Amino acid sequence: MTTKGDDRTAPLAALSWFPEAFGNLGKKQYETALAMQKELLDTFEQINHAWFARAQSEIDLAAEFLGKVAETRSIPGVATACQECISKQLEMLSEDSRRMLADGERLLRAGTRHLADSATAAVN
């Protein structure tokens, strides 16, 4: 027959076999996930600022174009302003493509670095 005191300590005794390494493993994985989340959020913030600046440059280009068109009194002048604007937009699109690839690479690096760290922590 068991006493009331034995009933309370039985679950604790059953967990005594649980190695401390398992508890530390969960803690390491949590810390790694938290670090990855922080780095990804920081990366997203940097990317967001860069794209906001890009949107602002598009607004500036449109304002510059409208100013040139308003000043121009001839059809050839408007055509020249259009050609300049289109040329700048194509340059910006090319830069956007490079930026998108670089941003994607930064995000992948951040994620894979922490996943590799997490896998290493699980093995050790």
Report residue 28's pLDDT band, with 50, 70 and 90 as the boundaries: confident
Query: Going by C-beta distance under 8 Å and a sequence separation of 6 or more, which residues neighbour residue 57?
Result: 92
| Positive or negative: CA dihedral 14, 16, 22, 26 | positive
Decide if 32 contacts 121 (C-beta within 8 A). yes
Percent of the chain with pLDDT over 90: 52
pLDDT score for 80: 95
Tokens of 75: 């059809």
Report residue 24's pLDDT band, with 50, 70 and 90 as the boundaries: low
Q: Which long-range contacts (CB under 8 A, 24 or more apart) does 101-106 make?
A: 103/47, 103/50, 106/43, 106/47
Give, in order, the Cα–Cα distances in Å from 40 to each of 56, 103, 111. 24, 11, 7
pLDDT score for 102: 95
pLDDT tens-place string over residues 43-81? 999 999 999 999 999 999 999 999 999 998 899 999 999
Integer Rg of the chain from CA: 30
How far is residue 103 CA from its own chain's centroid?
Answer: 8
Residue 111 has pLDDT above 60, yes or no: yes
pLDDT score for 65: 95
